[in-house]
């Protein structure tokens, strides 16, 4: 402990003089008559040396051999003596680990001596020992209270707010932050930003506690817009009631953050500024002239291009997504009535439903204008057109723009009991879309009877479950959760057959090759209304490919035999027997949820607890176990939703133990919005693609699409581009769709070029070409004005409605053959759930007085994490200066370019109120 002896030290004259002086002072300390003066002199020398500690000061090195003698001599000293204060600072470098002598001597020393007397490094040493001593139970907390308060005050005064937050987190007393007087606005920002950033990495319930204290600090400073952002992070915006905010620009800003107004007007104004207001056709997106040579080559070698309703259906989706929100297109809004009919009736059955529903996308956010255009289709003699119009009504608000007249409820409620199954499904799903996230009890009372009625067709009950899940997303509503659990229990043991519809939702024979349905139609009767192939071409194909036809027939027969037990399980006598507690065979229960629509029941339950983490969902897991629902798919999908966007490493470790298709999706959901977790995810998926099972490999592309929505990073696009040529058609189709997800709304030229190449590569494969067209439509969604990323407020707030829309589409695509049943089958209209994720990615600055757009200089660049850094570091890098309105992509951030303007929003995105700074005075200036 005493270290190197004096004889072995090679000292300079100055060091030797210092050492001799210290030895003399120690000898005088040991003498009671000269002790006070000697202690004072020693203190001055040590204090001077430790005021800025970058290495162990020389006085502390030279006093090391005397530390034991000094401790022994201090045993007779009374409490409150400066001798103990001196020993406390010596113990900082000399005491043995685990003795906590630095802290204990400080508690026995002179309490009137400021804690910062010995410098900041001494304070940090005390902070470390206090946390360890409390954990080890060496001291009582009440004995430390005065010292803790003094340390926190010192840290805040020295602009070490981050250290103060860490100290409170370590001792578990965040409430002490409320007792501190922060220096200024910068100090408030440093504390609150650090707490909100730490919350992501804290366990439950400490994470929520950190956010609540950040909320309290903002409210105490009357910074209501910042407080409202934190309240949204907590998932409870009601924590900042609008009526508590004084009337004025700040209240207006919070109202804009809460319920966007005039989105449609500003959206089209931005489009006009960017000169992209003119409607586009699907051909403008496909750019077929750039790949015409490939088609000409296929014609030369004798391959006949088959025109089918699937191409027309793809065009309807592309037309809807590309012209989303603009209120006009070249097929449904501007042409004559005959041309409109031709555009819709180019499709068959459910294809007409989706084509008509695209009006909801075209008039996105424009409820009044959309209703006037859609109304005429409600009286069509064709049932699918009427159903599409009902779904379009639900799409108008995009789950975001409120309608004071409740037109959607008035028009859709009367159809939820319709005798026509298609209209009924469209009306129920339309209600879910229109009122997503509103948590309206009257809608639950309207839809709950359908959900609990075991005689309801499976597809109706499943869509109803999804609708209530969307309406009450992230609400953790216990009553609704119990209703859904009961519905799941009923469906696990008794899945009724569908009535009055040919769109059977029960298990169907399916193949793993996506192009199998196309081949089956070419050699036999046309069974899919979306594949209206030319009869002559079908016969020619069949005659010229007898081996393929025979192979298809054999494959179909084999799959039908393999699915027979599953069909018997769902519709046979055993399925009609009531349950008396347990659900029987776990494998049987899992087989039920392999069908895409049956997955909507556990998905709806998961949506109730979206981004709620583990403590909130634990009672539901217990209830599932108590009620005998022994299907792991249900509990795993619940966990997948609950940990969405949390970046929880412990949850990820649990997900890795799963052996089904949910594992990649759950890992991606957990990593969404968290940069470090996304890098881990890429490495994980790389290994999974090499060594994983076929079931999990088929989900990896979709999982990548979920983790990187509207964020087309180079490495992600490269992976998906390779997978789009995979020999497994389901992996290739998933990769193509995921490319659309990653580039959604970005207009990225690289992805657009890759998709054009894929359109030539898959020109003769209708199913794969359909997926390519969907991806192209998503890439150019809103002509580059939309984003589908489910995060807002600088990627700190999870948009539960947007996440629900993304998960709805992806969960329906899970499993072998699911793509064929949904997007490539009769349920392609579920793709419109993506409308819930779409939102404008503009920044529009509005004058605080007139609320009219005003041009303001802003810098837009890549966001940089500056939390905890000293001073005023710049929050962006690689920026460019623009005049608003501007577009902001994923990972980008905007800042005001000058001090001329002050803004009322915590983050520059969406609609932001600004005011000239020289016209803001008094309390308003402090709140900005």
pLDDT in tens, 434-461: 999 999 999 999 999 999 888 889 899 9
Reference 582, options 500, 694, 493, 475; nearest CA is 493
Q: Is the pLDDT of residue 683 over 60?
A: yes
- According to DSSP, the residues that pair with 881 across neighbouring strands are 859
Per-residue model confidence as pLDDT tens digits over 789-800:
999 988 899 999
What are the CA-CA distances from residue 658 to residues 638, 677, 880 (Å)?
A: 14, 19, 45
Is the bond preceding residue 885 a cis peptide, omega within 30 degrees? yes
Task: Name the more confident of 564 and 296.
Answer: 296
Q: Torsions phi, psi of 862, nearest 5?
A: -70, 135
pLDDT in the model for residue 926: 55
What burial class does residue 690 get, using C-beta atoms within 10 Å of its C-beta: 0-12 exposed, 13-18 middle, 19+ buried? exposed
Whether 53 has a pLDDT exceeding 60, the answer reads: no
Question: What's the rounded mean pLDDT across residues 873-900?
Answer: 90
Query: In the prediction, which pLDDT does 467 show?
Result: 96
pLDDT digits (tens, 9 = 90+) for 488-512: 888 754 433 444 443 433 334 333 3
Average pLDDT (15-31) is 87
pLDDT of residue 584: 44
Number of residues assigned to the chain: 928
Rounded to whole angstroms, how far apart are CA atoms 836 and 265?
19
Distance in angstroms between the alpha carbons of the first and the last residue of the chain: 56
Higher per-residue pLDDT: 400 or 249: 249
Tell me what the mean pLDDT of segment 97-107 comes to: 89
**Domain 644-798+807-838, CATH number (from 3.30.450.20, 3.20.20.150, 1.25.10.10, 3.40.50.1380):** 1.25.10.10
Task: Say if CB 556 and CB 522 are below 8 A apart.
Answer: no
pLDDT of residue 632: 86
CA 496 – CA 701 distance, rounded (Å): 34
CB atoms within 10 A of CB 285: 22
Residue 905 has pLDDT above 60, yes or no: yes
On the question of pLDDT at 517 being above 60, the answer is no
Burial class (CB in 10 A: 0-12, 13-18, 19+), 197: middle
675 against 11, higher pLDDT: 675
Contact between 104 and 74 (Cβ < 8 Å): no
Does residue 623 have a pLDDT over 90? no
- pLDDT at position 710 is 95
pLDDT in tens, 537-579: 333 333 334 334 334 434 434 344 333 333 333 333 333 333 3
Domain coordinates in residue numbering, the chain: 64-256, 278-292+311-435, 436-492+595-642, 644-798+807-838, 842-916
pLDDT (mean) for 221-227: 92
CB 890, CB 837: distance < 8 Å = no
Over range 148-155, report the average pLDDT: 93
Check residue 292 and give its pLDDT: 60
Coil, strand or helix: which one is 725? coil
**Closest to 316 in 3D by CA, of 913, 828, 689:** 828
Out of 315-319, 375-379, 574-578, 794-798, which region has the weakest mean confidence (pLDDT)?
A: 574-578
pLDDT(204) > 60: yes
Backbone angles phi, psi at 901, to 5 degrees: -115, 150
Neighbours of 920 (CB within 10 A): 18
The pLDDT score that the predictor gives to residue 50 is 60
Q: What is the DSSP letter of 84?
A: H
Q: In a 10 Å sphere around its CB, with 0-12 CB exposed, 13-18 middle and 19+ buried, how is residue 850 labelled?
A: exposed
Q: What does the pLDDT read at residue 607?
A: 96
Task: Provide the pLDDT for residue 537.
Answer: 35
How many Å apart are CA 436 and CA 376, to the nearest integer? 25
Higher pLDDT, 80 or 601: 601
Confidence of residue 69 (pLDDT cuts 50, 70, 90): confident
Two tokens, residue 637: 């999908």
Proportion of the chain above pLDDT 90, given as a percent? 50
C-alpha–C-alpha distance, residues 324 and 815, integer Å: 30
pLDDT at 824 over 50: yes
Q: Which of 284-298, 595-609, 765-779 has the lowest mean pLDDT?
A: 284-298
Q: Model confidence over 705-734: pLDDT tens digits?
A: 999 999 999 999 999 999 999 999 999 999
Mean pLDDT of the chain: 83
Contact 470, 433 (CB under 8 A): yes
Reported as a pLDDT band with limits 50, 70 and 90, residue 42 is confident
pLDDT at 397 over 80: yes
Q: Return the pLDDT at 614.
A: 86
- Residue 780 has a pLDDT of 96
């Amino acid at each position: 402990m005493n270290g190197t002896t004096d004889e072995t030290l090679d000292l300079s004259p100055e060091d030797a003089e210092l050492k001799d002086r210290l030895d003399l002072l120690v000898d005088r300390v040991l003498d009671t008559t000269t002790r006070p003066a000697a202690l004072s002199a020693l203190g001055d020398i040590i204090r001077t040396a430790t005021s800025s500690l970058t290495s162990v000061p020389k006085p502390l090195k030279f006093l090391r051999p005397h530390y034991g003698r000094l401790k022994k001599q201090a045993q007779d000293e009374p409490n409150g003596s400066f001798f103990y204060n001196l020993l406390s600072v010596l113990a900082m470098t000399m005491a043995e680990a685990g003795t906590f002598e630095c802290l204990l001597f400080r508690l026995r020393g002179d309490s009137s001596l400021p804690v910062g007397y010995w410098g900041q490094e001494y304070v940090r040493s005390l902070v470390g020992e206090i946390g360890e001593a409390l954990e080890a139970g060496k001291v009582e907390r009440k004995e430390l209270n005065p010292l803790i308060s003094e340390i926190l005050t010192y840290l805040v005064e020295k602009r070490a707010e981050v250290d103060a937050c860490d100290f409170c987190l370590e001792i578990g007393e965040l409430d002490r932050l409320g007792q501190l007087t922060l220096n200024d606005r910068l100090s408030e920002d440093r504390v609150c930003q650090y707490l909100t950033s730490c919350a992501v990495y804290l366990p439950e319930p400490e994470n929520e506690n950190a956010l609540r204290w950040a909320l309290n600090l903002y409210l105490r400073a009357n910074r209501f817009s910042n407080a409202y952002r934190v309240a949204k992070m907590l998932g409870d915006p009601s924590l900042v009631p609008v009526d508590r905010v004084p009337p004025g620009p700040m209240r207006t800003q919070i109202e804009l953050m809460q319920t966007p107004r005039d989105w449609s007007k500003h959206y089209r104004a931005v489009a006009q500024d960017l000169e992209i207001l003119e409607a586009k056709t699907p051909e403008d997106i496909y750019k077929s002239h750039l790949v015409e040579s490939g088609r000409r080559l296929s014609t030369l070698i004798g391959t006949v291009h088959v025109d089918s309703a699937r191409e027309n259906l793809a065009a309807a989706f592309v037309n809807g997504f590309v012209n989303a929100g603009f209120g006009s297109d070249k097929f449904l809004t501007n042409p004559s009535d005959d041309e409109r009919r031709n555009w819709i009736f180019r499709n068959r059955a459910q294809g007409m439903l989706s084509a008509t529903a695209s009006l909801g996308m075209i008039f996105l956010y424009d409820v009044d204008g959309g209703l006037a255009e859609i109304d005429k289709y409600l009286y069509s003699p064709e049932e699918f057109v009427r159903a599409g119009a009902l779904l379009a009504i639900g799409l108008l608000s995009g789950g975001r723009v409120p309608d004071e007249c409740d037109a959607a409820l008035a028009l859709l409620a009367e159809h939820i009991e319709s005798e026509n199954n298609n209209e009924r499904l469209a009306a129920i799903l339309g209600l879910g879309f229109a009122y997503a996230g509103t948590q309206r009890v009257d809608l639950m009372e309207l839809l709950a009877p359908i959900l609990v009625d075991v005689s309801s067709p499976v597809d109706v009950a499943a869509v109803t479950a999804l609708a209530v899940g969307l309406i009450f997303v992230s609400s953790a509503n216990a009553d609704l959760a119990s209703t859904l659990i009961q519905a799941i229990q009923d469906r696990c043991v008794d899945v009724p057959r569908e009535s009055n519809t040919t769109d059977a939702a029960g298990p169907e024979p399916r193949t793993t090759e996506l192009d199998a349905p196309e081949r089956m139609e070419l050699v036999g009767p046309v069974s899919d209304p979306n594949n209206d192939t030319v009869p002559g071409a079908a016969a020619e194909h069949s005659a010229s490919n007898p081996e393929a036809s025979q192979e298809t027939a054999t494959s179909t027969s084999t799959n039908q035999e393999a699915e027979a037990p599953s069909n018997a399980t769902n519709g046979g006598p055993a399925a009609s027997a009531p349950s008396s507690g347990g659900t029987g065979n776990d494998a049987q229960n899992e087989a039920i949820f392999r069908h895409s629509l049956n997955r909507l029941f556990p998905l709806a339950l998961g949506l109730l607890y979206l981004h709620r983490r583990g403590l909130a969902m634990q009672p539901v897991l217990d209830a599932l176990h108590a009620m005998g629902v022994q299907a792991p798919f249900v509990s795993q999908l619940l966990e997948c939703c609950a940990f969405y966007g949390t970046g929880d490493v412990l949850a990820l470790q649990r997900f890795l133990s799963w052996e089904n298709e949910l594992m990649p999706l759950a890992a991606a959901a957990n990593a969404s919005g968290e940069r470090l977790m996304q890098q881990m995810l890429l490495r994980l998926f790389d290994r999974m693609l090499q060594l994983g099972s076929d079931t999990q490999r088929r989900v990896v592309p979709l999982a990548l699409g979920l983790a990187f929505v509207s964020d087309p990073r180079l490495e992600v696009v490269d992976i998906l581009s390779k997978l789009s040529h995979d020999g497994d058609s389901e992996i290739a189709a998933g990769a193509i769709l995921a490319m659309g997800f990653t580039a959604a709304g970005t207009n990225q030229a690289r992805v657009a070029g890759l998709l054009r190449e894929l359109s030539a590569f898959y020109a003769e494969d209708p199913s794969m070409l359909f997926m390519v067209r969907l991806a192209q439509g998503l890439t150019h969604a809103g002509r580059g004005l939309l984003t589908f990323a489910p995060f807002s407020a600088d990627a700190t707030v999870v948009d539960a409605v947007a996440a629900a829309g993304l998960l709805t589409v992806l969960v329906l695509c899970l499993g072998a053959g699911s793509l064929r049943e949904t997007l490539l089958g009769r349920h392609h209209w579920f793709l419109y759930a993506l409308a819930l994720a779409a939102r404008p990615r503009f920044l529009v600055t509005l004058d605080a007085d007139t609320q009219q757009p005003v041009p303001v200089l802003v810098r837009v660049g890549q966001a940089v994490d500056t939390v905890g850094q000293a001073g005023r570091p710049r929050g962006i890098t690689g920026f460019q200066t623009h005049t608003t309105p501007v577009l902001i992509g994923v990972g980008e951030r905007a800042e005001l370019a000058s001090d001329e303007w002050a803004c009322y929003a915590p983050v520059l995105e969406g609609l932001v109120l600004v005011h000239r700074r020289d016209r803001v005075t008094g309390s308003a200036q402090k709140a900005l």
